[in-house]
Amino acid sequence: MNAIAKLTVAILFANVPPLLGQTTFSKITTREIATDINRSFGVAWGDFDNDGWIDLFVANGYEEPNGLYRNNGDGTFTVITSGPVVTDGGDSLCGVWADLDNNGGLDLYVTNYDPTSADFVYSNNGIGEFVKVAGPWDDDGAAGVGAAWADYDLDGFVDIFVANWQGRPFLYRNTGAGSMELVESGHPVDIGDPSRSERGPTTTTTGIWIFSCRTTTVLRATTP
């Protein structure tokens, strides 16, 4: 082992807790979250109130209200019962957190599987209070199954990619003026195969598409 390898190993293991490998988990069956009975499909962790403790969003389907839980910092959570995040009933599959307007508060994008129910976007005022935001997703007519934030054009504002079942994906560009615009053409919105997923076992997936925003190269990983 050369000197560089030895240094790397030393650094990696210097931060390992002495009891690593002895940690165990106990299933929590009481209190909030564990006792909420819903048909849930996705979760997302994020510190939406900026108190240093990660909170939890739960996406519920079949028109059931979604769940939002504030972390109290002592191993317990407070169920949020008011506000648009938990009162908008949809057929939600997932939620993703990101700071859409760069105000220091995590905003939330929620995909809905029912094509008649638009995706939800909630703006955070920076102290954990949300307002529902209108945008091009309101009339997309698609079955959203997943989403991801990233600043693909490197303008300092996060954009969003939405994968849809049996339909073309959507790419929304953040204009930096408090709004998003739908990207109408180009990769990845012009891919030949729809981005496909389904509840339960995925037997019709045609592959995973990987796009580079710096080149025109497209790599496709196909399934057997």
What is the average pLDDT score of the chain? 76
pLDDT in tens, 15-40: 445 555 566 777 777 787 877 778 88
Cα(48)–Cα(86) distance, integer angstroms: 14
pLDDT in tens, 30-74: 787 877 778 888 999 999 999 999 999 999 998 899 999 999 999
Cα(107)–Cα(128) distance, integer angstroms: 9
- Residue tagged 């307007």 (tokens): 101
> Which pLDDT does position 214 carry in this prediction?
40
| Burial (CB count within 10 angstroms: exposed 0-12, middle 13-18, buried 19+), residue 79 | middle
Cα(21)–Cα(183) distance, integer angstroms: 47
- Residue tagged 């508060």 (tokens): 105
| C-alpha separations of 23 from 17, 19, 108 in Å | 10, 7, 32
> Which pLDDT does position 6 carry in this prediction?
32
pLDDT at 13 over 60: no
166: nearest Cα among 204, 221, 201: 204
| C-alpha separations of 75 from 33, 90, 92, 94, 121 in Å | 12, 29, 27, 24, 28
What six digits make up the tokens of 38? Answer: 């819903």
Radius of gyration of the chain (CA): 20
> Which pLDDT does position 126 carry in this prediction?
86
pLDDT at 190 over 80: no
- Residue tagged 């930096």 (tokens): 176
Tell me the pLDDT band of 189, cut-offs 50, 70 and 90: low
pLDDT at 5 over 70: no
pLDDT in tens, 195-224: 444 433 333 334 444 443 443 333 444 444
pLDDT at 1 over 70: no
pLDDT at 4 over 70: no
Q: List, as own/partner pairs, every contact residues 111-115 make where C-beta atoms lie below 8 angstroms and the sequence separation is at least 24, other chains included.
A: 111/59, 111/144, 111/145, 111/146, 111/147, 111/162, 112/143, 112/144, 113/61, 113/143, 113/144, 113/145, 113/165, 113/199, 114/90, 114/143, 115/141, 115/142, 115/143
